[in-house]
A and B are shown apart, each in its own frame.
Chain A
Amino acid sequence: MTNREKQNLKIGLLFISPWVIGFCLLNVYPLCASFYYSLCNFSVLSPAVYIGGLNYKDLFTDEIFWKAVSNTFYFSAVSIPVGILTSLSIAILLNFNLRGRGIFRTIFFLPSLVPMISLAVLWLTMLNGQSGMVNLVLHPVLDLLNSLFGTNMRPPNWLQDERFAKLGIILTGLWGVGNAVVIYLAGLQDVPRHLYESADLDGANFWHKTRHITLPMISPVIYFNGIMTLIGALQVFAVPYVMTSGGDGPGRSLLFIATYIYQNAFDYWNMGYACALGLILFLIILSLTVLATRLSEKHIYYAGK
C-alpha cells in the first residue's frame, strides 16, 4: 500500500466512522448483549444469573411459543401474497392514463399516512361483529347468497372468532399498501415505452404485456417490496396488540412471536427468555430473507447486469 493509499484509507475510515460507531453501539452491542442475556435468567432489575442453554431448551418445549410461530407463519403466508397482489394491482391500475389519475393516486396513498395505532382503533370498530362497517357490507351480500343457494351464512364475529381473527388483521394491513403502491408506480414509470410499442406491433394484449414486459421489468421492485413485507409480517406487533388490548386474541389466535417477546420481557419479567425468543426471530427472518433472495435470483432482471 502506497502512502497515498494509506492516506486515503485513513480519510475514508474517518468519514465512515460515525456510521461504524453508531452501528457498533446501536446494533452490534445490543445483539451481543441479548445473546449473553439469552443464556441468563434476567429480569432487568436484578443482576443476570447465568443458566446456560436452559432458555433455548425451554423454548423448544414451550407450546405457546410454537403457537406464536405458527400464527406468525400463517399471517405471513397469507398477508405477503395478498399484500403484494393488492398493491401491484392498484399500482398497475393507477398507471393507466386516466382523467383525475393524480386524485386517485392520492386517495389510495392517504390511508398509509394514518398512524398504526389509529389504524388499529379504527379497524377495531370496522370489524365489530355486530355493528362494524365490514359486516354491514357483508350482510346483504350473504343474505343474497343465502336466498340463492338456501344456505345460512352469517358474517363472522371477526376478532372474537379464532377462525377469522387473523384474517381480520390481514384485512386491516391492506390499508397500509399505499407505500408499496408508490414504489411500484415509480418502477412502472421506468419501464421503457418502446417495449410496449413493439409488443403492440406484435399484437400483444394487456395480459401479454403485463406478463412479459411489466412484471420482468419491475422484478427488482417486486423483490424489494417482497422482502420488506416479509420482514414486516414476521415482526407484526402493534396492530394486533392494540386490537386485543394487549392480549393474544381468542384461543391465542393473535399471539405472534413479537407479541410473545414483549409479554415475556415486560409482563412476565423474563427478559432472558425474551432475548432468546428475539434471537430466534432474528434467525428466522435472516434465513427466510436469504432463502427468498436465492430463490428469486434467477427471476430478477437488472438492466445494468
Chain B
Amino acid sequence: MNCAHPISKTAGLSCLRALTLLLGIFIFIPASRGEPVSREGRVVIKYWEKWTGFEGDAMKAVVDDFNASQNRIYVDYLTISEIDRKLMLATGGGNPPDVAGVWSFMVPVYAENNALTPLDKLAAKYGLKRDDYIDVYWQLCCHRGRLWALPTTPASLALHWNKKMFRAAGLDPEKPPRSIAELEMMNEKLTRTNEDGTLKVVGHLADEPGWWSTNWNFWFGGSYYDNDHLTVDTPENRASFEWMQSYPKRFGKENVLLFKEGFGNSFASPQNPFFREKVAMVIQGVWMYNFIKNYAPKDFEWGVAPFPSVDPVKLKDVTIVEEDILVIPVGSKHPHEAFEFMKYVNSQKPMEKLCMGQRKFTPLKKVSPEFLKTHPNPYIKIFIDLAKSPNAKTLPSVTTWTQLKSDLIWAVGEVMRVMTTPQDALMYVQKHQQKALDRRNELWGRIQNERLKEWDRREAEL
C-alpha cells in the first residue's frame, strides 16, 4: 500500500508531462507551421491553383515570399482540382477567386465567354511589357488583341532518348535522329519482338505517351486553324496521320494496343515505359527531368534534342509551347491587389524561384546567370532555345478547341486502330468542326459589339 502512492505520483507527473506535450503539439505547432505571416488588417485575396506536389510547393513558396514582402495584401493560396470546370461555375455563380492559376489554352474560350478581366491597362500601369518576355509566352496570354493573363511557368517539348538502349542496338548514343526518316530507321534497329510476334521493346511509338498525338502535324508543316477557318484536311496534316498509321500497320494493331495496355497509368512511377526501357524515344516536356530523377533507375542514361521533323531544313526546331498562367476572373473583389500579386510573380527573382522549383525555365527574356548555372536539368538550354524557335507552335487559338480536340482524339484513335483512312478521318473532322466553329462565330458576330464595349467598360472601371 505504501508503495502505491509514489508510483501513482510518478504516473501522474508523466501524464501531466504527456498532456503538456500534446497541448504543445496542438497549440504551438499549427501556429508556427500554418501562417508565418498574419492576414490581420490586410486585403485578403483568394488564389486558386491547380498544381499539387512539388509544383504546388514551388508556387506556395512564392506566395509565402509575397505575403512576407509587404503588409497590405495577403494571398490565401488554395489548391483546386479540375480547376477549369470549378472556375467556370464559381465565376458563373458570382463568387470566383481573385486570381486563378490555369492553362494557356483556356484563354480564348474564357475571354470570349466574358469570364476574364482584361489586363492591358493594369499591365501598362505596372510597367509590364511584351518585350520582357519570350514572345510566344506573351502571345499565349492574348486573345482578340487584348491581354487576359500573365505567364507563370512555361514549357516546350523535345525528344528524350535512352542512351543505353541506343548503345545496345548498335547506334551512336550521342546522335539522336535529325529527321522522321532517320527516327524510323533507328526505330527499326531498336524494336524487338517476342517469339509469338508481340512487341517486347520499341524504338518509338506515335501514341506514347499520346498527350500530343493530335498535334504531330506541326512536325509535318501542318496546322489546324487559319483566320476563323479550320484547315484540318490538308496534305501536311494527312501526312502526319499517315505516319501515325504506319505504326499499327508495321507492328500489327493488336500488338501495339496490347503493348501499350501493359503500361497502364504509370507515367509518374518507376513503371513508366521509358524508364523501364520498353520505349527508347519519347516526346516529353521540360518537366520530364524531375520524373527521371524521382522514378528512373540510378544508371538511367538519357539525352534531349529537338524532336525531328519530316524536313530538318525547312522545319528546324519544331516544338509545342504551352504555359501555366494567372488570370483575374470577372467578379474578383480585389482585381488591383490580385494584379499586384501577379506582377510580383512576374518579377525576375520570384519567377526564377518558381520556375526553378518546378524544374522549368523562365518565360522572361532576362535570366540570371545563376539560374542557368544552378538549374538541375542539364538540357534546360535546349528547351529555352526551342521556345525561342520560329517553329515553336501553340495549340490553335480557337474558341472551339476542346470540341475540335475531342474530334481529333477520335480521329487519332480510328487511324491507330486502322478503322479508317487518314483522309476520311480528317475530312469528317473538318466538316463537323467547321460547322461548330461557324455556329460559334455566328454567335460572336451577334454579340461582338456589345462584348467589346463591355470589355472597354470593364477596363475603364479598373
Q: Cβ of B413 and Cβ of A157 under 8 Å apart? A: no
Is B129 an interface residue when CB atoms closer than 8 A count as contact?
no
A157 touches B91 (CB 8 A): no
- Distance of B110 from chain A, by nearest CB (Å): 8
Taken residue by residue from 234 to 273, chain B's Cβ proximity to chain A (1 for < 8 Å, 0 otherwise) reads as: 0000000000000000000010011011101100000000
Looking at the complex, which one of A128, A161, A267 makes contact with B264 (CB distance below 8 Å)? A128
Q: Is the CB of B443 within 8 A of A41?
A: yes
Selected from A45, A63, A250, the residue in CB contact (under 8 A) with B114 is: A45
The verdict on A130 contacting B447 (CB below 8 Å), with A45-B88, A251-B414 known, is no
Query: What 0/1 readout, one digit per residue, does chain B (90-117) give for beta carbons within 8 Å of chain A?
Result: 0110000000000000000110011100
Q: Chain B interface (Cβ within 8 Å of chain A)?
A: 85, 88-89, 91-92, 109-110, 113-115, 254, 257-258, 260-262, 264-265, 330, 400, 402-403, 406, 409-410, 413-414, 417, 419, 432, 443, 446-447
B412 to chain A minimum Cβ distance, whole angstroms, is 11
Does B402 lie within 8 Å of A268, measured CB to CB? Answer: yes
Q: By CB atoms of chain B within 10 A, which of A41, A46, A131, A248 has the most?
A: A46
Mask, A40-57, CB within 8 Å of B = 1, is 010111100100000000
B109 contacts A269, CB within 8 Å? yes
The answer, yes or no, to whether A212 is at the interface (CB within 8 Å) is no
- Among B85, B88, B110, B447, residue most surrounded by chain A Cβ atoms (within 10 Å): B88
Known: A268-B402, A268-B406, A269-B402. 16 other contacts (CB 8 A): A44-B89, A45-B88, A45-B91, A46-B113, A46-B447, A124-B265, A128-B261, A157-B254, A157-B258, A157-B261, A160-B261, A162-B419, A247-B409, A248-B406, A251-B413, A267-B406
Are B413 and A45 in touch, CB under 8 angstroms?
no
Taking a contact as CB atoms under 8 Å apart, the answer to whether B410 and A252 are in contact is: yes
Nearest-CB residue, chain B, relative to A129: B261
Neighbour of B88 across the interface among A162, A248, A266, CB < 8 A: A266
The answer to whether A266 and B113 touch across the interface, beta carbons within 8 angstroms, is no
Selected contact of A251 from candidates B406, B419, B447, CB within 8 Å: B419
Q: Does A263 contact B (CB under 8 A)?
A: yes
Q: Of A45, A157, A162, which one neighbours B115 at CB under 8 angstroms?
A: A45
**Secondary structure dominating the interface of A:** loop
Q: Which of A45, A250, A268 has the most CB of B within 10 A?
A: A45
Nearest CB in chain A to that of B91: its residue: A45
Contact of A49 among B110, B260, B402, B447 (CB under 8 A): B447
> What is the CA–CA distance of A157 and B198 in the complex, to the nearest angstrom?
14
From 227 to 275 in chain A, residues with beta carbon under 8 angstroms from any chain B beta carbon are 245, 247-248, 250-252, 263, 266-269
Residues of chain A within 8 A of B264, CB atoms compared: 125, 128, 131
Nearest Cβ on chain A to B165's Cβ, whole angstroms? 21
Question: Can you name 30 A-B pairs with beta carbons within 8 Å?
Answer: A44-B88, A45-B88, A45-B91, A45-B113, A46-B114, A49-B443, A49-B446, A49-B447, A63-B432, A125-B264, A128-B261, A128-B262, A128-B264, A129-B261, A130-B261, A130-B262, A131-B264, A157-B254, A160-B257, A161-B257, A250-B413, A250-B417, A251-B414, A266-B85, A267-B403, A268-B400, A268-B402, A268-B403, A268-B406, A269-B113
In the assembled complex, which residues on chain A have CB atoms less than 8 Å from the CB atom of B113? 43-46, 269
Number of A residues with CB within 8 Å of any CB on chain B: 28
B186 to chain A, nearest CB (A): 26
A43 to B108, CA, bound (A): 14
Bound CA–CA A43/B409 (angstroms): 23
Chain B residues within 8 Å of A46, by CB: 113-114, 447
User: In the complex, what residues of B have CB within 8 A of residue A266's CB?
Assistant: 85, 88
**Which of A131, A160, A248 gathers most chain B CB within 10 Å?**
A160
Instruction: Note all chain B residues with C-beta closer than 8 A to A44.
Output: 88-89, 92, 113
Binding site for B on A (CB under 8 A): 41, 43-46, 49, 63, 124-125, 128-131, 157, 160-162, 245, 247-248, 250-252, 263, 266-269
Taken together as a complex, chains A and B put the C-alpha atoms of A62 and B458 apart, in Å, by: 38
The 9 closest A-B pairs by CB, nearest first: A129-B261, A130-B262, A44-B92, A45-B113, A268-B403, A45-B115, A43-B113, A160-B257, A267-B402
Specify which of B110, B257, B330, B432 lies most central, judged by the most chain A CB atoms within 10 Å of its CB: B257
- Shortest distance from the beta carbon of B458 to any chain A beta carbon, whole Å: 13
Which of A49, A130, A248: most chain B CB closer than 10 A? A130
> In the complex, what distance in Å separates the CA atom of A131 from the CA atom of B271?
13
Return the chain B residue nearest A250 by Cβ. Answer: B413
Q: In whole angstroms, what is the CA distance A252 to B408 when docked? A: 12
Query: What CA separation (Å) do A162 and B410 show in the bound complex?
Result: 12
Distance between Cα atoms of A131 and B265 in the complex (Å): 13
Contact B257 A157 (CB under 8 A): yes
Q: Which residues of A contact B89 (CB under 8 A)?
A: 44
Q: Given known contacts A41-B443, A44-B89, is B402 in contact with A129 (CB within 8 Å)?
A: no
**A251 x B257 contact (CB < 8 A):** no
Distance (whole angstroms) from the CB of A134 to the closest CB of chain B? 13
CA distance A262 to B57 in the complex (A): 32
Whole-angstrom distance between the Cβ of B152 and the nearest chain A Cβ: 23
Q: Which residues of B contact A245 (CB under 8 A)?
A: 265
B262 in contact with A131 (CB, 8 Å): yes
**How far is B111's CA from A43's CA once the two chains are assembled, in angstroms?**
12
Nearest CB on A from B405, distance (A): 9
Residues of B within 8 A of A268 (CB): 400, 402-403, 406
Q: Which residues of A have CB within 8 Å of B417?
A: 162, 250-251
Could you tell me the distance in whole angstroms from the C-beta of B438 to the nearest C-beta in chain A?
Answer: 12
Cβ-closest chain B residue relative to A252:
B410
Verify A129–B85 contact, CB threshold 8 A.
no
- CB–CB A130/B258 < 8 A: yes
The distance in angstroms between the C-alpha atoms of A45 and B85, with both chains bound, is: 12
* B257 partner, pick from A41, A43, A124, A129, beta carbons under 8 A: A129
Measured CB to CB, the nearest residue on chain A to B410 is A252
A160 to B210: give the CA distance in the assembly, Å. 14
Query: A residues within 8 A CB of B432?
Result: 63
In angstroms, Cα B111 to Cα A46, docked, is: 11
In the bound complex, how far is the Cα of B419 from the Cα of A63, in angstroms?
17
Cα–Cα, bound, A251→B409 (Å): 10
- Chain B min CB distance to A79 (Å): 24
A160 cross-chain contacts in B, Cβ below 8 A: 257, 260-261
**Complex: chain A residue closest to B261, CB-CB:** A129
Chain A nearest Cβ from B21, distance in angstroms: 38
**Cross-chain contact A129 with B258 (CB below 8 angstroms):** yes
- How far, in whole Å, are A45 and B402 apart by their CA atoms in the complex? 17
Closest chain A residue to B110 by CB distance?
A: A45
Residues of B within 8 A of A263 (CB): 406
Residues of B near A161 (CB, < 8 A) are 257
Most chain A CB inside 10 Å of its own CB: which residue of B330, B410, B419: B410
